[in-house]
């Protein structure tokens, strides 16, 4: 249920009371399905009194008679416009001339209700303005939520970037102050740690750029025929050295599959899933990549024999900046943005991403995408 506050301004007590009585009983169907709108009514006898009530606690709808004993309804309307409170004013007037209507609209009135009016006419007018109020309310709520999410994102990002900078500064101070003596060799380990931290920052920034490009929708997408098998081989090649270092074996199981897609987006998906499967694997572990196509549905599956995750962790990892912190992951660096980017891309393809995992045994990620050119091309 939504409640809208209405202020009725009329010097004739009979009219005021009857409008108030009708409004208090009135229930209007909200533009949002299954919801109702009720009204909370306040009354004022003069323009001066109305302005005072508006300043104290503004209504969302103002039913305003033009002919009042002191300042006129139009003067109240002009004053209300300067307050910028988003009040929707319906002018009630006995002289509903075109000039009056134009004047009211220029002053920011929402609409006009000619006097005398029937309860049905009042109801129709309220239905119209209520729709407007509720739609505007939801737009405001959505904007506030967006602002909150953006603010939270920036706070976390700032924190995540500060951590490596703090570490680098500490290592540099140790070197500057010659804490370990004058022999440059003593500082080799510190230099190495500085480099690891700055490499991590570089990766973080590159993940961030991927994410914001996808999310902003500003990156021009080029949907063209992509050889998915080839793209997967290239992604594996790019990560082969990292895998070899830890004696991890990668295999690809597929026939030749192609699809209409944006090449860069497919690269980001493959790169994130395969690099995770290596990073979170055990030494001498395995990574198995499999591709499937059935109709216009493409499935990319990446399985590993790594550290795995609890069901609770699995539910969180697709959110921005989420990294699972435990003794097995402390030494592994990352931004926590990779999987959230994968998920956003999958949604662009009307697809999904899911995960199955057993702690200490391994994890399988499955990405499903819809071929973006299936209508033009039914061969695979
Ligand atoms: N294959 C995997 N096995 C185990 N845990 C994983 C795997 N892939 C991702 N995770 C967990 O999910 C988290 C989020 O992954 P991701 O968004 O790629 O960020 P990053 O790898 O930069 O930390 C990781 O920090 C890790 O804890
Ligand atoms: Mg990752």
Q: What is the model's pLDDT at position 173?
A: 96
Q: Confidence band (pLDDT; 50, 70, 90) for 156?
A: confident
The total domain count for the chain is: 2
Give a yes or no: residue 168 inside a domain: no
Q: What is the model's pLDDT at position 296?
A: 94
Alpha carbon of 318 to ligand 1 centroid (Å):
9
Q: What is the DSSP letter of 114?
A: E
Provide the β-strand partners of residue 367. Answer: 300, 353
CATH code for the domain in which residue 274 is found: 3.30.565.10
CATH code for the domain in which residue 114 is found: 3.40.50.2300
Which residues have C-beta atoms less than 6 Å from ligand 1?
272, 276-277, 280, 304, 306-309, 317, 322-324, 329, 334-339, 363
Alpha-helical runs (H) found in the chain: 13-25, 47-56, 73-83, 98-106, 119-176, 188-216, 228-245, 263-279, 311-314, 338-348
Give a yes or no: residue 277 inside a domain: yes
Q: How large is the average pLDDT for residues 325-352?
A: 93
What percentage of the chain exceeds 90 in pLDDT?
A: 78
- In this structure, the answer to whether residues 234 and 355 fall within a common structural domain is yes
What is the pTM (predicted TM-score) of this model?
0.70
Q: How large is the average pLDDT for residues 281-302?
A: 97
Here the tokens at position 105 are 């609209």
Q: What is the model's pLDDT at position 379?
A: 44
182, 176, 331, 251: CA torsion to nearest 10: -80
Residue 273 has pLDDT above 70, yes or no: yes
Q: Which residue has the higher pLDDT, 230 or 34?
A: 230
Q: What is the model's pLDDT at position 377?
A: 46
Q: What is the model's pLDDT at position 375?
A: 55
Alpha carbon of 277 to ligand 2 centroid (Å):
9
Q: How large is the average pLDDT for residues 269-297?
A: 97
Give a yes or no: residue 263 inside a domain: yes
Give a yes or no: residue 169 inside a domain: no
Q: Report how far residue 102's alpha carbon sits from residue 90's, in angstroms, rounded to the nearest whole number.
A: 13
Q: What is the model's pLDDT at position 98?
A: 78
Q: How large is the average pLDDT for residues 125-140?
A: 93
Q: What is the model's pLDDT at position 149?
A: 87
CA within 13 Å, CB half, 289:
26
Q: Which of 286, 295, 212 is nearest to 253 (CA)?
A: 286
SS3 call for 33: coil
Q: CB neighbours of 219 closer than 8 A, spacing ≥ 6?
A: 213, 264
Q: What is the model's pLDDT at position 380?
A: 42
Give the residue from 121, 144, 167 where a domain finishes.
144
Q: What average pLDDT is seen over the chain?
A: 92
Q: Confidence band (pLDDT; 50, 70, 90) for 230?
A: very high
Q: How large is the average pLDDT for residues 45-72?
A: 95
Give a yes or no: residue 213 inside a domain: no
Q: Cβ(268)–Cβ(367) under 8 Å?
A: no
Long-range contacts of 92-98 (CB under 8 A, 24+ apart): 92/10, 92/63, 92/64, 92/65, 92/66, 92/117, 93/65, 93/66, 93/67, 94/66, 94/67, 95/66
Residue nearest (by alpha carbon) to ligand 1 atom 27: 324
Q: What is the model's pLDDT at position 96?
A: 65
Please give the C-alpha separations between residue 214 and each of 34, 119, 253, 307, in angstroms, as whole numbers: 35, 52, 29, 29
3-state secondary structure 273-342: HHHHHHHCCCCCCEEEEEEEEECCEEEEEEEECCCCCCHHHHCCCCCCCCCCCCCCCCCCCCCCCHHHHH
Give the residue from 124, 144, 164 where a domain finishes.
144
Encode pLDDT of 170-214 as tens digits: 999 999 999 999 999 999 999 999 999 999 899 889 889 988 888
Here the tokens at position 108 are 């920011």
Give a yes or no: residue 107 inside a domain: yes
Q: How large is the average pLDDT for residues 87-102?
A: 84
Residue carrying structure tokens 């697709």: 318
Q: Which ligand 1 atom sits nearest the alpha carbon of residue 325?
A: 27
Alpha carbon of 7 to ligand 1 centroid (Å):
55
Q: Cβ(32)–Cβ(137) under 8 Å?
A: no
Q: Ligand 2 (ion): which residues have CB within 5 A?
A: 276, 334, 338
**Which range marks the domain in which residue 93 is found?**
2-144
Q: How large is the average pLDDT for residues 134-162?
A: 90
Q: Confidence band (pLDDT; 50, 70, 90) for 378?
A: very low
Alpha carbon of 336 to ligand 2 centroid (Å):
6
- In this structure, the answer to whether residues 139 and 271 fall within a common structural domain is no
Here the tokens at position 332 are 């592994």
Encode pLDDT of 9-35 as tens digits: 999 999 999 999 999 999 998 888 888
- In this structure, the answer to whether residues 127 and 252 fall within a common structural domain is no
Residue 277 has pLDDT above 70, yes or no: yes
């Amino acid at each position: 249920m939504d409640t809208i506050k209405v202020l009725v301004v009329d010097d004739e007590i009979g009219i005021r009371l009857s409008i108030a009585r009708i409004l208090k009983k009135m229930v209007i169907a909200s533009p949002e399905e299954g919801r109702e709108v009720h009204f909370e009514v306040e009354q004022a006898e003069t323009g001066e009194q109305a302005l005072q009530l508006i300043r104290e606690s503004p209504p969302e709808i103002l039913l305003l008679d033009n002919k009042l004993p002191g300042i006129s309804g139009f003067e109240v309307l002009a004053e209300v416009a300067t307050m910028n409170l988003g009040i929707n004013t319906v002018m009630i007037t006995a002289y509903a001339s075109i000039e009056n209507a134009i004047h009211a609209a220029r002053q920011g009135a929402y609409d006009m209700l000619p006097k005398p009016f029937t309860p049905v006419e009042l109801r129709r007018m309220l239905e119209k303005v209520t729709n407007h109020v509720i739609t505007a309310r939801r737009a405001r709520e959505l904007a506030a939520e967006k602002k909150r999410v953006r603010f939270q994102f920036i706070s976390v990002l700032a924190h995540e970037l500060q951590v490596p900078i703090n570490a680098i500064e500490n290592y540099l101070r140790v070197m500057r102050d010659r804490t370990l003596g004058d022999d440059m060799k003593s500082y080799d380990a510190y230099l190495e740690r500085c480099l690891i931290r700055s490499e991590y920052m570089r990766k973080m920034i590159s993940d961030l750029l991927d994410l914001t490009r996808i999310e902003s929708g500003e990156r021009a997408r080029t949907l063209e025929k992509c050889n998915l098998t080839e793209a997967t081989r290239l992604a594996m090649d790019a990560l082969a050295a990292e895998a070899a270092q830890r004696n991890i074996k990668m295999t690809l199981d597929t026939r030749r599959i192609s699809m209409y897609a944006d090449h860069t987006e497919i690269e980001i998906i493959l790169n994130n899933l395969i690099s995770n499967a290596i990073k979170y694997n055990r030494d001498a572990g395995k990574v198995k990549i499999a591709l499937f196509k059935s109709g216009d549905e493409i499935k990319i599956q990446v399985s590993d024999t790594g550290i795995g995750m609890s069901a609770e962790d699995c539910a969180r990892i697709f959110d921005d900046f989420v990294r699972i912190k435990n003794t097995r992951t402390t030494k592994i660096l990352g931004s926590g943005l990779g999987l959230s980017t994968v998920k956003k891309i999958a949604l662009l393809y009307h697809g999904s991403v899911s995960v199955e995992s057993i702690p200490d045994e391994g994890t399988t990620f499955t990405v499903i995408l819809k071929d973006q050119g299936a209508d033009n091309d039914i061969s695979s």
